[in-house]
Amino acid sequence: MVETPSVNEQAPRPVPLTAFEKRFKHPPGLVILFFAEMWERFSYYGMRGLLKLYVANYLFVSWRQIRQGQPFSHGGPIEAVGGSFFRSLLSTPSDAVLSSCLAGATRNYPSLDPSAALDAARQACIAQEHASILYGWYTGLVYLTPLFGGILADRYLGQRKTVLVGGTLMALGHFVMASEQAFFVALVLLILGNGAFKPNVSTQVGGLYAAGDPRRDGAFTIFYMGINLGAFICNFVCGTLAAVYGWHYGFAAAGVGMLLGLTVYMFGQRYLATDNRTLHRNDGATKQPLDAGEWRRVAALVGLCALNVVFWAVYEQQGNTMQTWADEQTVWPVIAGFQIPSTWFQSVNALFIVALAPLLDMFWLRQAKRGSEPSSVSKMAIGCIVLGLSFIVMVVGAQVVGSGRGSLFWPVFCTLLLTVGELYLSPIGLSLVTKVSPTRIVSMMMGMWFMSSFLGNTLSGYIGVLYTRLPKEGFFLLLTALGVGAGLAMWAFNKPIRRAIGSSAV
């Protein structure tokens, strides 16, 4: 049986070889996409790092100001801009659930008398659950819209125009977020903008390399470092501004980051490969139906996306329940009189990615020379299992810390292990999509890849509700079981998926 080629033979040609490419081994377009995505991720993760705390501690119920000596307010400003309707869609936790949450929550209000502290804690427990669901839906929807953004690029606008539209919408969304009265409008702008931007930048990385070019996986690892460099620095800027000057300064800083990304992209377009839509419009390929081999590859990618849903549902707890742990049950140091804000926790994962990605790349190259490098699908299965096992750290941490506050070691070491799992799955999956997808629908297939993130992120919000309903060690043990179980399922489907894709691709 003849194996299906790993990449459609009509793959976009790379830009002409330049002195830059001869020296740095990669085309200059990779630098443009690296910095464009870095600033876009600066804006996204800067806003995401604030979102859960902003909703739970300010919009839904203004209790955080108690720590600053101000009076407690039962309702937040969101009530005037649609928050009441949103709350009506959600259930209020039962008395039994609230009692388990209240046991530890009252410690946040040492300055209040016991009755007022109990009331504040009750409001906070309800807000945490509602904020978790809103967080899950938002982070989910930003990964649903890339499917439609991919179709828009493949069929109508092309990748470059779609990226510019998406970046503009996202910049507007971040600046609109600076007004709490337009909170839901800002979320819609960000969701739509991300859908247009995200899949079309990623696919343009693959477009810089010819079919079979061995530099492609390395290029995506470099690109992934750019994503996480932006995610690393954003919280030092956005999180600090929000903590020192107010929430809205943090959101505005995210908007400035998005404008920088747009500027880099606009002035660097001459270094990018030709849009897939332009290439196929010239040769008529867009009118050709998919053949049987291409349909098998599409089906295999859809299967992988389905297995990824659980991975993202567990992974996204780092911005949801892990951020809550970092805020409420972690002792953050004071340096030179400055209290480090808990939002800096969101930079830990990105720091580890930037540090570990080159090391893993060298490790995989050494394995490749010995002929022992795992396949792409095997790497993804390993990543999912490692992700699940990382939460064993938090199981132990929950037992040690109890209802008090504990060391930074627990969330940071968990994140270190979680990051290793992420590096085994996420950049490998991005590269696999560009290698396996029929090129005339590659942006749409990249959107399909991100759809697994939509389902996973949405699911993460509902899983996060259990954080206040289960004992903490039980909650983290559940995350372990989900991650390991999904990884084992992915491993079981390894051979069937590889046969459908073609072993030369993975």
Q: Cα(400)–Cα(246) distance, rounded to whole angstroms? A: 34
Query: 377: Cβ–Cβ under 8 A, 6 or more apart, which residues?
Result: 304, 490, 493, 494, 497, 498, 506
Domains and CATH numbers, the chain: 28-277+290-505 (1.20.1250.20)
CA 330 vs CA 124, 343, 388, 406, 474: distances in Å: 18, 12, 22, 5, 19
- One digit per residue, the tens of pLDDT, for the chain of length 506 reads 322 223 333 344 444 556 555 566 778 888 889 999 899 889 888 888 888 788 877 777 665 555 444 555 555 555 555 556 666 666 666 666 667 666 666 666 666 667 766 776 777 777 777 788 888 888 888 888 888 888 888 888 888 899 999 999 999 999 998 777 788 889 999 999 988 998 888 778 877 877 767 677 677 778 888 888 888 888 889 888 888 888 889 999 999 999 999 999 998 888 887 776 665 555 555 557 777 777 887 888 888 888 889 999 999 898 889 988 998 889 998 888 888 888 888 889 888 988 888 888 788 878 878 888 788 888 889 999 999 999 999 999 999 998 888 999 999 999 999 999 999 998 888 778 877 777 777 777 877 787 888 888 889 888 988 998 889 999 999 999 999 999 998 888 777 777 766 654 55
Identity of the amino acid at 477: L
Q: Cα(390)–Cα(396) distance, rounded to whole angstroms? A: 11
Q: Dihedral, CA atoms, 277, 454, 457, 179, nearest 10 degrees?
A: 80
Q: Cα(15)–Cα(89) distance, rounded to whole angstroms? A: 51
What are the helix (H) ranges across 106-182?
114-141, 145-152, 159-176
Backbone dihedral angles phi then psi of residue 379, each to the nearest 5 degrees: -60, -40
DSSP label at residue 10? T
CA 350 vs CA 195, 401, 423: distances in Å: 22, 25, 11
Q: Are the beta carbons of 97 and 104 closer than 8 angstroms?
A: no
Q: Cα(38)–Cα(228) distance, rounded to whole angstroms? A: 7
Query: What value, to the nearest 5°, has the Cα angle with vertex 304 and ends 135 and 145?
Result: 40
Structure tokens, 11: 């793959």
DSSP label at residue 406? B
Q: Cα(222)–Cα(427) distance, rounded to whole angstroms? A: 9
Can you give the three-state secondary structure of 56-103, one letter per residue? Answer: HHHHCCCCHHHHHCCCCCCCCHHHHHCHHHHHHCCCCCCHHHHHHHHH
Closest CA to 376 of 204, 497, 205, 277: 497
Identity of the amino acid at 115: S
Strand stretches in 269-375, DSSP E: 334-335, 338-339
Structure tokens, 257: 């980051």
pLDDT, tens digit, 9 for 90 and up, residues 304-357: 888 889 999 999 898 889 988 998 889 998 888 888 888 888 889 888 988 888
Query: What value, to the nearest 5°, has the Cα angle with vertex 426 and ends 442 and 198?
Result: 50
Residue 291, exposed/middle/buried by CB under 10 A (0-12, 13-18, 19+)? Answer: exposed
